[in-house]
C-alpha cells in the first residue's frame, strides 16, 4: 500500500514532469565547411553575453575611444532597447507569478432589506423576508485560489517569457553594438574627409606657387596669357573642391552628435592630422561568428519562445483545475462584533473547467502558434546566412582593397614623377602649360583615390568587426606608415 508521503512525491513528479507541447531543439542551419576568403569555420554555441572588450580600441585613436564610451550612456536608441528589455523582464515576472497561489482580502459594508442576515448574501438559499427592516451588513472576506499546472501551461508560458526576455537582452546588445559601430563609421569617414581636405589645402599652396611662376613668365613675355588663365582655373577649382568637403564633414559631425544624444550645435570635434590605425585580421577569426553576434542569439531565442507558445496553446485542450477557498466574517450588529465565531463563514472546493465547443478558436490558435514558430525558424536561418554573407563580403573587400592599394601606391608615385618631368619640360619651353595642368590633375586624382582607399579599408574592417559581433580577440594593429 502506498503511503501518503510516497503519493505526495508521485503527484509532485507528475505536476513537474507533465507539460504538453514540443520540447525545444535548436533548428538546423546550412553551414558551409569554410569561408571562401579565410578558411575553416566551426559552429559554436551563442556567447553573446560574454564581454567583448573595447573592440574599437584597435583603431588606436584616443578621441574615438572617449566618444564610443559615451554611447552606452547617452544614445537614445540604446535607451529604447534597454527599456524594452526591462519590459520583457517585467512580463517574465508576470508569467512567473502564475505559478503561485493568489491571496486576496475584502471588506465591505452594505445596507440590505428583504434578505435574512443569518446567512451570507452570496450563499444560495437565503431567507426572503418581505417588509423586514433595513440592516447594515459588514463583511470581511479572505480568499485563496491556485490553478494546478497539470498540463504545463504556466510552465510553458514562463519558458516563453524567459526566452523572450533573453532575446530582448540580446536585442539590447545588438542595439549597443549597432550604435557603437555607427559612431565609429561616422568618425572614420570624418577623419578620411579631413585627410582629403589636408591634401587639397596642400595642393592649393602648390598651385599658388605655380600661378606665381606663370605670372612671372607672362610678365617676362616668355608665355602667353593662356598659361596664367589655366593656372588660375586650376587653383580656383581645387579651392572649390576643398570648400565642398566642408559640407560632408559638418554633416558627419552632426551624425556623431546624434549618436551621442547631443544637439548638433552643442558638439564639435577638433581637426586631427592623421587617420586612425588600420587593424589587422587575426587567424581563427571565423570560428567566433555565431558565438558573439547578438542578433543571431536573439533570433535563436525567439525560436525557443515560439516553441514554448505552442505548448501554451495545446494546454488549452485539457481541463483547467483550480483549487479555491474563501472565508471570513459577516455581521449586521456593528463592526465591533464582526470577528466572532457565530459570524464566521467559509467555502472550499475545486473547479474543473473545460471548453467543449469554441467554434475552432483553439485549433486556430494552435495553427497561429505553429506558424509563428515556423516564421521564427526562417528568420533565425536567414539571420545566420546573412551573417555569413556579411563576413564574406568584408573579407573579400579587405583582400581586394589591399591589392588595389598596392597598385594605387605605384600610380601615385608615377603620377608624381610625371608631374615633375612635365614641370621641367615646361620650364625648358618644350611643352605648354596645358600639359602641366593635365599632370597636376592626374597627380591630385591619384592621391585622392589613395586616401579614399585607406578610408574604405577602415570602413571594411569596421564592417567585419560588426559582422562577427565585435572584438576579434587581437589587439594587433597595422603600424605601417602607409596605412595612416
Q: Average pLDDT by consecutive 10-residue portion of the chain (484 residues)? A: 43 51 71 51 53 84 95 91 92 87 86 57 49 76 83 82 89 92 96 96 95 92 92 96 96 96 93 89 58 85 89 82 83 74 80 80 87 91 87 90 95 96 91 93 96 96 88 46 38
pTM: 0.80
Q: Where in the chain is the domain with CATH 2.20.200.10?
A: 101-148+320-353
Distances in Å between the Cα of 474 and the Cα atoms of 8, 57, 151, 423, 480 are 57, 11, 50, 47, 17
Fold for domain 20-99+151-318+361-483?
Answer: Outer membrane efflux proteins (OEP) (1.20.1600)
Task: Kindly provide the b/e burial profile for residues 242-263, where b requires at least 16 CB atoms within 10 angstroms of the residue's own CB.
Answer: beebeeebeebbbbbbbbbbee
Supply the pLDDT for residue 478. Answer: 40
Residue 299's nearest CA partner among 376, 391, 387 is 376
Secondary structure percentages of the chain, helix, strand, coil, to 5: 60, 10, 25
Q: Which position has the grid cell 619640360?
A: 425
Q: CATH 1.20.1600.10 occupies which residues in the chain?
A: 20-99+151-318+361-483
**Is there a contact between 281 and 117 (Cβ–Cβ < 8 Å)?**
no
Q: pLDDT at position 156, please?
A: 84
CATH architecture of 101-148+320-353: Single Sheet (2.20)
For residue 378, the model assigns a pLDDT of 92
pLDDT at 277: 92
Q: What are the backbone angles phi and psi of residue 58, rounded to the nearest 5°?
A: -65, -15
The pLDDT, as a whole number, for residue 354 is: 79
Instruction: Tell me the DSSP string of 334-382.
Output: -GGGSSSGGGEEEEEEEEEE--S--TTHHHHHHHHHHHHHHHHHHHHHH
Amino acid at each position: 500500500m502506498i503511503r501518503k508521503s510516497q503519493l505526495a512525491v508521485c503527484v509532485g513528479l507528475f505536476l513537474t514532469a507533465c507539460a504538453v507541447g514540443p520540447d525545444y531543439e535548436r533548428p538546423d542551419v546550412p553551414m558551409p565547411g569554410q569561408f571562401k576568403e579565410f578558411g575553416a569555420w566551426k559552429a559554436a554555441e551563442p556567447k553573446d553575453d560574454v564581454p567583448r572588450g573595447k573592440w574599437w580600441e584597435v583603431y588606436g585613436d584616443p578621441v574615438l575611444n572617449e566618444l564610443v564610451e559615451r554611447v552606452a550612456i547617452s544614445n537614445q536608441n540604446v535607451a529604447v532597447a534597454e527599456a524594452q528589455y526591462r519590459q520583457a523582464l517585467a512580463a517574465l515576472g508576470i508569467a512567473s507569478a502564475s505559478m503561485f497561489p493568489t491571496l486576496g482580502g475584502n471588506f465591505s459594508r452594505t445596507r440590505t432589506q428583504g434578505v435574512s442576515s443569518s446567512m451570507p448574501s452570496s450563499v444560495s438559499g437565503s431567507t426572503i423576508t418581505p417588509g423586514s427592516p433595513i440592516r447594515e451588513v459588514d463583511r470581511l472576506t479572505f480568499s485563496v485560489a491556485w490553478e494546478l499546472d497539470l498540463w504545463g501551461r504556466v510552465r510553458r508560458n514562463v519558458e516563453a517569457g524567459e526566452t523572450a526576455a533573453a532575446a530582448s537582452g540580446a536585442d539590447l546588445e545588438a542595439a549597443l553594438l549597432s550604435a557603437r559601430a555607427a559612431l565609429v563609421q561616422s568618425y572614420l569617414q570624418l577623419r578620411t574627409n579631413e585627410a582629403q581636405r589636408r591634401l587639397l589645402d596642400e595642393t592649393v599652396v602648390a598651385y599658388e606657387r605655380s600661378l606665381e611662376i606663370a605670372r612671372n613668365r607672362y610678365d617676362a613675355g616668355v608665355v602667353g596669357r593662356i598659361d596664367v588663365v589655366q593656372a588660375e582655373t586650376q587653383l580656383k577649382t581645387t579651392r572649390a573642391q576643398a570648400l565642398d568637403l566642408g559640407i560632408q564633414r559638418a554633416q558627419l559631425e552632426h551624425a556623431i552628435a546624434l549618436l551621442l544624444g547631443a544637439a548638433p550645435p552643442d558638439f564639435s570635434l577638433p581637426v586631427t592630422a592623421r587617420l586612425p590605425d588600420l587593424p589587422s585580421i587575426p587567424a581563427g577569426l571565423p570560428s567566433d561568428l555565431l558565438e558573439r553576434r547578438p542578433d543571431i542569439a536573439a533570433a535563436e531565442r525567439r525560436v525557443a519562445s515560439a516553441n514554448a507558445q505552442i505548448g501554451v496553446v495545446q494546454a488549452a485542450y485539457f481541463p483547467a483545475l483550480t483549487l479555491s477557498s474563501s472565508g471570513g466574517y459577516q455581521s449586521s450588529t456593528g463592526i465591533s462584533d464582526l470577528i466572532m465565531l457565530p459570524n464566521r463563514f467559509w467555502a472550499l472546493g475545486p473547479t474543473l473547467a473545460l471548453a467543449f465547443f469554441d467554434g475552432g478558436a483553439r485549433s486556430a490558435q494552435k495553427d497561429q502558434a505553429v506558424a509563428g514558430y515556423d516564421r521564427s525558424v526562417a528568420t533565425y536561418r536567414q539571420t545566420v546566412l546573412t551573417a555569413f554573407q556579411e563576413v564574406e563580403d568584408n573579407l573579400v573587400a579587405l583582400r581586394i582593397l589591399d591589392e588595389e592599394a598596392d597598385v594605387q601606391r605605384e600610380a601615385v608615385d608615377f603620377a608624381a614623377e610625371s608631374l615633375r618631368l612635365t614641370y621641367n619640360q615646361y620650364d625648358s619651353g618644350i611643352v605648354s602649360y596645358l600639359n602641366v595642368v593635365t599632370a597636376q590633375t592626374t597627380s591630385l586624382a591619384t592621391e585622392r583615390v589613395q586616401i579614399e582607399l585607406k578610408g574604405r579599408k577602415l570602413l571594411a574592417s569596421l564592417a567585419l568587426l560588426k559582422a562577427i559581433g565585435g572584438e576579434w580577440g587581437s589587439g594587433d594593429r597595422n603600424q605601417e606608415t602607409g596605412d595612416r
